[in-house]
Amino acid sequence: MAKRQVTIVDIAKKLNISASTVSRALKNHPDISKETIERVKECAAKMNYIPNEMALNLRMKRTNVIGVIVPEIVHYFFSSIVQGIEEVASEEGFNVMLFRSEESYEKELKITDSLISARVAGVLASLSKETDIYDHYQRILDNDIQLVFYDRICIGIITDRVVVDDYAGALTAVEYLISTGCKRIAFYSSPTHLEISKNRRNGYLDALRKHKLPVDQELMFVCDTREAAMELTPKVLAMDNPPDAFFAINDHTATGILYAVKQTGLRVPEDISICGFSGGDLALACDPMLTTVEQHGYEVGKTAAKLLIDKINGVTLGQFTNRIIKTKLMVRGTTKAAP
């Protein structure tokens, strides 16, 4: 207890040499004799010396910390992303500082201040649903901190970006539904101002147009939770001209639809097809198992972290990359077989 942490000076004293020699020996500086290096390293090990990163960072005017802003933590897609980030970061010798914005702009503001205060080397951020002012992100850049957006990107700020191919994912999914004979496909989406809503909606619309199916505004809803879907779906099924398929913005919503459809006595997929968007274990727990668009959050995280670390290391100064992570349609039991 109360044992002061051992410093380079403690080692120096014990060995009757100077602190700078110890410092150099520890880093295998060519000027230092093999013998001294040996002695210093042995002594350091014996004394359980662990370098003080704070001092080092202050001296070097840099950090090995990456700040990550995530809207939600308990969330398959985002936690996959964090896992990808953590993996790359730890491989490259960086530590990850995690912040949750709770989908709140206010919280985001506080977080960016903490991030600058902590003098992190770089930031990986996904916008909260509320955010439509971006000054705080500009301030990050103004403070010489590298920045990469992932998933919910910010168009107003010039940085690297990593996004999921929402458009293609939606297009492929809806085309698949059409190929299995579905003709009236409902679309449950998140609030329409979000990029993911827009992009997936465009994919949905283009799929319909491409296959000469009519676009019916009455089949497009804002509904993106399980609870909302359980409430809305019976009403939709009771329409005069009800849909024969549902395309949902996420798997939670899709499970709500599935539940409601089965409640009404309709069969899935014979009467009604359902396709979600997310991936993960939730889709496997359903009965039948849910057809869904896998988003590869892990890849998003890894890619974003790599781009950021390249920036930090100065490898890609002045370049701004847009990386798009491909989605994959996982065909399972809530859709019919393609002919």
**Contact residues: DNA, CB under 7 A:** 4-5, 7-9, 16-21, 23-27, 29, 31-33, 35-36, 49, 51-52, 55-56, 58-61
Q: How far is the CB of 78 from a copy of itself (least distance, A)?
A: 9
At residue 221, φ and ψ (nearest 5 deg) are -130, 150
CA pair distance 125, 284, nearest whole angstrom: 29
CA pair distance 20, 8, nearest whole angstrom: 8
Q: Residues near 106 by Cβ (< 8 Å), separated by ≥ 6?
A: none
Residue 166 CB coordination number (10 Å): 24
Taking every pair of Cα atoms in the chain, the longest distance, rounded to a whole number of angstroms, is 91
Judged by beta carbon distances under 5 to 8 A according to partner kind, the member of a copy of itself, DNA, none in contact with residue 259 is a copy of itself
Nearest to 128 by CA among 48, 67, 195: 195
Q: Which two tokens stand for residue 7?
A: 């410093």
Binding residues for a copy of itself, rule: CB under 8 A, are 1-5, 48, 50-55, 57-58, 63, 65, 73-76, 79-80, 82-83, 86-87, 90, 95-100, 110, 113-114, 116-119, 139, 141-144, 226, 252, 255, 258-259, 262, 280-282, 284-287
Query: Given the complex with DNA, which of 49 and 221 has the nearer CB atom?
Result: 49
Nearest to 151 by CA among 81, 202, 225, 224: 81
Judged by beta carbon distances under 5 to 8 A according to partner kind, the member of a copy of itself, DNA, none in contact with residue 9 is DNA
Query: Given the complex with DNA, which of 143 and 263 has the nearer CB atom?
Result: 143
Query: Given the complex with DNA, which of 38 and 287 has the nearer CB atom?
Result: 38
Judged by beta carbon distances under 5 to 8 A according to partner kind, the member of a copy of itself, DNA, none in contact with residue 2 is a copy of itself
Judged by beta carbon distances under 5 to 8 A according to partner kind, the member of a copy of itself, DNA, none in contact with residue 28 is none
Pairing of strands 273-278, 291-294: parallel
Q: How far is the CB of 111 from DNA (least distance, A)?
A: 19
